[in-house]
Amino acid sequence: MANLIIDIGNSRAKAAVMRDGGLCGEYAATECSVAWLEEILSRHSDVCQAIVSSTGCDTAWICEWLEAKLGYVVAFSPATTLMPIGNDYLTPETLGADRIAAAVGAQQLYPDGDIMIVDFGTAITIDYVVDGRFKGGNISPGMTIRFRALSDYTARLPLCSATDDVLAYGRTTREAIEQGVMQGITHEIEGYIAAFSQEKAKIYTIFTGGDAKYFVKRIKNAIFADCEPVIYGLNTILDYNAKRR
């Protein structure tokens, strides 16, 4: 039997079908619709339960529709009480569901050490799992936000974007902006890694998110998550709740 994982982010909806802990199919759409869900379920007739997570939009109708189809659905939020890891966040009602789900997924994938998860998305989040507990983390502007801010809040600086070039310094204004943003993020993350390494003997640094590919070659000793920790985390949370219902 298989699980259906629905993760609705700021810019798109993602779905995954998991069977015995393995990924059977991945899907993406600009929005979650009945037609999209029906298409996924038609391809995976053995789906018997689901979990739905969102960073902001109302998912009540999705959960109701899936419950009528499948019978068991977890409407996931940071307030979900049955969790496979502890949560030390002081305001869980403000914690993004994707952050705690990624922490659960990373713990599942790397259970023998402490973990720093860097999600390179619209915002950059740096989160920590220590001794099997989500400790919290930090949030800063993502790469695209930084590029846009330099263009939007100045009179003459152009709007730039990511580059694969790694230069010590820019020799044109465009290069200066590209390297300033990307090297700035690089040094920011390297600082976090260095500080965490001093605190803990064995750590894993996990990179995920749409912009992670630009920083894997810039930052050493990081693991690029080819499997999304959020998806694996949501699958673990679904199984954990299903076994205890």
The catalytic site residues sit at 98
In total, the chain counts a number of residues equal to: 245
β-bridge partners, 208: 119
Distance, in Å, from the CA atom of 107 to the CA atom of 131, rounded to the nearest integer, reads 10
* DSSP 8-state symbol, 218: T
Distance, in Å, from the CA atom of 11 to the CA atom of 104, rounded to the nearest integer, reads 23
Distance, in Å, from the CA atom of 128 to the CA atom of 106, rounded to the nearest integer, reads 10
Q: What angle do CA 137, 14, 65 make, to 5 degrees?
A: 115
For residue 224, give both structure tokens: 């690029």
